[in-house]
């Protein structure tokens, strides 16, 4: 209990730096009630996936265009070009990785667990990629959130690289929105997505937070709380995501959903609602009001005519 309180205090301190404290929306703010999710922590409230039904990532989106990069755009760090079948991944790790990298990817038992973040999104480490797990979860989209890990080939899965690195935290800004759109596009097709990085506790968490901010009614602070109590080994108190703090906060401010900003409690379009309200008001008043045209009378000749024109001028000046 004491440890949980320390976690929460640390999280609130981290998230309040950007002025992002505060709750998201609730029922009736445009999110589907059918997708209500019960949080695993008692610090969390139930939350919902966006009811947006049409998402298609453009072919010229940075995430799609940059799949063949050999170096990162800004820092010019090299990007691993290796492609490894999942069946040969263990041998590849032992042969090509140094001891530190092997530990980050496969030794820690918490790292190799595949964690369910939300009903359509999972996170794991490179060493946590298992054919049986991917099959059981019916995963069809694999996102490699790194620049130095190989692309893992899995039958029946689309594999994309998200070339972000803690060495270049600003790289997150280039892809976080595209990744969120791609995950939600896959969700609308009843697909399941897995994001992996070295240990599943840094790059993958940053992208997961971005998706939760854009396509659920959670604020950034709530999204991070959910991730912290869902993924074992992810500790904000230990400085995880510190480098990605500014890009995440900037994205979270822009990613607030139109549904959350302008909640619509009725499923009817606004035009129909306004028409119905007008018809109801006209029924109450009886017959609809019609504009009556006032007949203009020609001014009388002589003094009376002049008097009339003077009175009209006086009336207009008074108005």
pLDDT, tens only, 62-71: 999 999 999 9
| Mean per-residue pLDDT, 190-199 | 96
* pLDDT over threshold 90, residue 15: no
Domain containing 38 equals 9-261
| Mean per-residue pLDDT, 14-42 | 35
Other residues' Cβ atoms within 10 Å of the Cβ of residue 169: 18
Separation CA 39–CA 166 (nearest Å): 29
* pLDDT over threshold 60, residue 266: no
- Number of compact structural domains in the chain: 1
Whole-number pLDDT of residue 238: 62
Tokens 């799949």 sit on residue: 67
Exposed, middle or buried: residue 92 (CB in 10 Å: 0-12, 13-18, 19+)? middle
Phi and psi of 80, rounded to 5°? Answer: -60, 125
Does residue 295 fall inside a structural domain? Answer: no
Nearest one of 261, 252, 187 to 221, comparing CA atoms: 252
| Mean per-residue pLDDT, 13-23 | 33
Does residue 235 fall inside a structural domain? Answer: yes
Average the pLDDT over each of 95-104, 268-277, 293-302 and give the range with the smallest value: 268-277
Does residue 18 fall inside a structural domain? Answer: yes
Separation CA 61–CA 70 (nearest Å): 18
**CATH number, domain at 227?**
3.90.190.10
pLDDT digits (tens, 9 = 90+) for 84-127: 999 999 899 888 888 777 766 665 566 789 999 999 999 999 98
User: Three-class SS of residue 80?
Assistant: coil
Separation CA 224–CA 122 (nearest Å): 15
Other residues' Cβ atoms within 10 Å of the Cβ of residue 209: 25
């Amino acid at each position: 209990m004491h440890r949980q309180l320390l976690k929460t205090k640390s999280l609130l301190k981290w998230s309040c730096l950007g002025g992002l404290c505060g709750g998201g929306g609730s029922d009736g703010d445009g999110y589907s009630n059918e997708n209500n999710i019960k949080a695993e922590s008692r610090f969390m409230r139930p939350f919902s996936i966006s009811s947006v039904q049409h998402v298609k990532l453009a072919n010229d989106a940075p995430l799609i265009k940059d799949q063949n990069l050999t170096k990162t755009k800004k820092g010019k760090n090299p990007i691993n070009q290796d492609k490894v079948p999942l069946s040969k991944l263990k041998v590849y790790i032992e042969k090509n990785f140094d001891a530190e990298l092997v530990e980050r990817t496969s030794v820690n038992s918490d790292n190799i667990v595949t964690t369910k973040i939300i009903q359509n999104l999972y996170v794991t480490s490179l060493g946590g990629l298992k054919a049986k797990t991917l099959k059981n979860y019916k995963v069809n989209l694999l996102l490699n959130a790194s620049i130095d890990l190989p692309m893992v080939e899995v039958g029946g899965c689309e594999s994309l690289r998200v070339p972000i690195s803690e060495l270049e935290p600003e790289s997150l800004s280039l892809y976080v929105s595209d990744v969120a759109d791609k995950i939600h596009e896959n969700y609308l097709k009843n697909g399941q997505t897995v994001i992996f990085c070295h240990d599943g506790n840094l790059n993958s968490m940053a992208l997961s937070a971005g998706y939760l901010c854009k396509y659920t009614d959670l604020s950034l602070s709530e999204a991070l709380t959910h991730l912290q109590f869902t993924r074992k080994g992810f500790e904000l108190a230990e400085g995880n995501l510190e480098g990605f703090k500014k890009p995440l906060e900037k994205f979270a401010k822009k990613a607030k959903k139109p549904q959350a900003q302008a909640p619509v409690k009725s499923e009817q379009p606004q035009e129909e609602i306004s028409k119905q309200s007008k018809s109801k008001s006209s029924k109450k008043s009886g017959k609809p009001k019609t504009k009556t045209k006032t007949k203009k009378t020609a001014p009388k000749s002589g003094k009376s005519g002049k008097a009339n024109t003077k009175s009209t001028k006086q009336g207009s000046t008074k108005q």
